[in-house]
Chain A
Amino acid sequence: MSIATDSNIFFFRILVRCVCEIGKREWPQQWPSFLNELVTLATSNPKSSEYSLLILAYLVEDVIVLQTLTAVRKRDIQTTLLQHGQELVDFIEKFLDSSTTTTSSALYALTMFATFLPIEIFFTTKIIQRIVVLLQFDQHRMKAAEFLSVIADRRGKHEERLGLLELFSYLFQPTSPQNDLFSSIQQRQTSDTYDFMKQYAMILAALTEQLCYLCGNEDTQKRATLPSNFTNGTFFQILLRLMQHPSIYISLFGYQMWLQLHRANIFQANDLKTIVPLVLQALCHSLVKLPFKTKENDRGQ
């Protein structure tokens, strides 16, 4: 990247920071038109849209995620963001099929909003499906995975989290290429692909936790129905691939998911008779260990 490009990026970010800092101090009471002005700025020309998206992203990051403000200011800003949550998500969604940098900024902004906005807001439109599609594109998959990781890891009441089970139908389609990454074990993989695989494994682990909480609840009346992509074995196939993966980091996710599913009694007794031999077979490669000390070494001591 040239020095000129580096400078432009730096100036861009510092301008965003300046506006964000003013917003943190003035909005909503002293600057009620702030959101309107951001929308107008974004629609004035394509280059300006990135400013609006990143200002929103940095604002949420500072106030909600990093909590750099006082409790009173945080409450004021958070309340106003919650009031306009749906409109803001709808506004950002429009930029998901723009240029590469604008889409990245939109995904980053959505990731920040996903940390605190009600989960149901993201399931009222097709925004989740659009982000899942972005997993197929190298330039967007990491940011898309970060968003899905945040939303899949959300906590809250049982009723609020039920919508997350829809992610099973979006992520485990037959045409979803990201799941095949774990089966094509190559000796040499780019670090970008490996980073994405780790991030995606985090999504799967978070989804497993949600599944166990929603479908394995001790209160039988509260138990949700298992998603079809779980009962038809699709998810289990991916779980096996994770457990067999040569990367210790990725395979650990697989083991943890397997243990969680067992503790929550998700599998039926009949299913276990079929599943357990498959799991043992998958784990064989890691169960056979070479001895640390050979007889020759022992004699030498």
Chain B
Amino acid sequence: MSNFETLQQIESAVLISVSGDVSRRQQAFEYLEQIKSNPTQSISIGFEVFQSNRTFDPLVKHFALQLIEETIKYKWTSLEPTLKVFIKEHLWSLMTENQTLPTHLKTLVTFVHRNRFEYFLF
């Protein structure tokens, strides 16, 4: 399944999870919990919602940020170092409103380069 299709599926699940349809709500909730249980997938999807050219519903953005926040709070120690760098870089990009996020390899190279030549202002 392509990333875009995954995002669409997540968008549907989020909107169904707050709808009045009880039977589908449980299914949607279980699907979203399954996404949350995988930290790598959570981070990837979390940032892709903001990277995508399409504008998502605020509820979907809220869920995306929730994925990122809960991964940081509860699964940080189990994450790979490269994923930790990825998260920091992308959070910084979101804060500086840079929607053009670098690729994974470019991010890694940038991080290594910055650490090598960085001087301390403090």
Contacts and interface: CB of A to CB of B under 8 A. Distances in A.
B53 to A, nearest CB: 18
A92 to B, nearest CB: 14
Contacts of B96: 41, 44-45, 48
B72 A21 contact: yes
A221 interface: no
A51 B118 CA distance: 22
Contacts of B62: 7, 10-11, 14
Interface stretch (A30-38, A114-122, A202-210): A30-38
B68 interface: yes
A22 B72 contact: yes
A11 B61 contact: yes
B120 A14 contact: no
A114 to B, nearest CB: 20
Nearest to B114: A33
Contacts of B4: none
Interface in B38-94: 58, 61-62, 65-66, 68-69, 72-73, 76-77, 84, 87-88, 91-92, 94
A45 B96 CA distance: 8
Contacts of B58: 3, 7
Interface in A69-125: 84, 87
Q: A interface, by DSSP: helix, strand, loop or mixed?
A: helix
Contacts of B92: 37, 41
Contact of B87 (A3, A14, A22, A32): A22
A102 to B, nearest CB: 14
B65 A15 contact: yes
A36 B122 contact: yes
A15 B91 contact: yes
A296 B62 CA distance: 67
Interface string A34-66: 011101010011011001000000000000000
A10 B68 CA distance: 14
Contact-size category for A: 20 to 34
B122 A84 contact: yes
A35 B95 CA distance: 16
A36 B69 contact: no
Contacts of A31: 88
Nearest to B72: A21
A17 interface: yes
A133 interface: no
A285 to B, nearest CB: 54
A222 interface: no
A15 B95 contact: yes
Nearest to B46: A18
A19 interface: yes
Interface string B80-122: 0000100110011011110000000000000000110010111
A262 interface: no
Contact of A33 (B72, B84, B118): B118
Interface centre among A18, A19, A35 (most CB of B within 10 A): A18
Contacts of B72: 18, 21-22, 25
